[in-house]
Amino acid sequence: MPVEVDAGLATLSDQLILATVLLYVFAMIAYACDLAFSRSAEVKARTEAQPVLATVGAGTGASQDTPESAPAKDEAPAEAPPTWVMWVGRVAVGLGWLGWLANFASLVTRGLAVNRWPWGNMYEFVVAMCLAVVGTFLFMQLRYRVRFLGAFVTLAAALGLGFAVRYLHVQAGPVVPALNSYWLVIHVSAAIVASGLFFVAAVSGILYLVRKDTAVRLPSRQDLERVAHRAIVIGFPIWTFAVIAGALWADKAWGRYWGWDPKEVWAFITWIVYAAYLHARATAGWKGKAAMIVQLVACACLLFNLVGVNIFLGGLHSYAEVP
């Protein structure tokens, strides 16, 4: 019996995606202003607030017990940053959450329109992956000081959604019988969450490589590397579970756990490269530029596995419905 599509909810989902793109763009602008001006004001204030050292007994009749770090009496207090600089970061965070909620609502309405889980084709998967990327950043922001990533994460999400709308969009409808399984929820959900964590790590890695020593608006390379490592440490076991769940689903659907299908091969290659990054960092003490390059190679493998395999290669996973 064919599945009836609720055209109204499907249209609402498409409209929410457009609203999401706009909200992510506005959030990106606000995060960029926060990064450019708030951090500059913070660095300037910290520099101006440093005490002026007084020379002990330097021919001015200074007492021998004069503290060496005594500030000059005529030193002006550090200038407070403009008022708008103080709240632009909060506006950015608020816009980010609004965009994420619109992104989430677009997936919910898409699923309700066809009465299934809304990641049965490439368009839906990319939308869900953008949700995971922004969600990972926003929830990390609740615990860690990673707001400096906001402009780059929201820009990546806006571009990803724009690409999905322009090149991958298909009308809401039923999926092929092979995808009508509870394993779709288990396997694909794990892959989406892990991908969100890996892409946040990739953003940190790119910033690490392009950051110059004289940059004051970006955090230190140590902070960038710390964020990337934490994201990968959390994401790697989730990706491992996704690969195992995919093998179990393959056995149920096709009667074998592993068949060297292109999607399976590239999922395994991605797992190996991320495992190599973690192993080298834990045993050989790899840090810095070399470690960042390895994890970016792993992210490139992940991106090709998620998008490139479905577009350029065939196989049993070729039901992506790419227009």
Q: Which residues contact 183 (CB under 8 A, 6 or more apart)?
A: 245, 248, 249, 252, 253
pLDDT value of residue 315: 60
Determine which helix (DSSP H) or strand (DSSP E) holds 41, and give its type and residue range.
Answer: helix 39-48
User: Can you give the pTM of this predicted structure?
Assistant: 0.80
147 in any annotated domain? yes
Look at residue 316 in the predicted model and tell me its pLDDT: 58
The confidence score (pLDDT) of residue 35 equals 85
At residue 52, the pLDDT reads 42
Structural domain count, the chain: 1
Mean pLDDT score of the chain, rounded to an integer? 81
The predicted structure's pLDDT at residue 307: 80
Residue 272: its pLDDT value, please?
95
Question: Is residue 318 one of the residues assigned to a domain?
Answer: no
- Is 321 inside any structural domain? no
Judge whether 242 lies within some domain.
Answer: yes
Gyration radius (Cα) of the chain, Å = 25
Distance CA 151, CA 155 (A): 6
Which positions of the chain have pLDDT values less than 50? Answer: 1, 41, 43-78
Six token digits for residue 105: 């609502």
Grouping H, G, I as helix, E, B as strand and the rest as coil, residue 271 is helix
- Does residue 1 belong to any structural domain of this protein? no
288: in domain: yes
- Residue 320 in domain: no
Residues 6+ apart with CB under 8 A from 299: 198, 199, 201, 202, 205
The answer to whether residue 322 sits within a structural domain is no
Domain that holds residue 129: 7-312
The answer to whether residues 277 and 205 touch, using CB atoms and an 8 Å cutoff, is no
Q: Which amino acid is at 65?
A: D
The pLDDT of residue 80:
54
- pLDDT one-digit tens code per residue, 208-244: 988 877 766 777 888 889 999 999 999 999 999 999 9
Cβ contacts of residue 220 below 8 Å, gap of 6+?
Answer: none
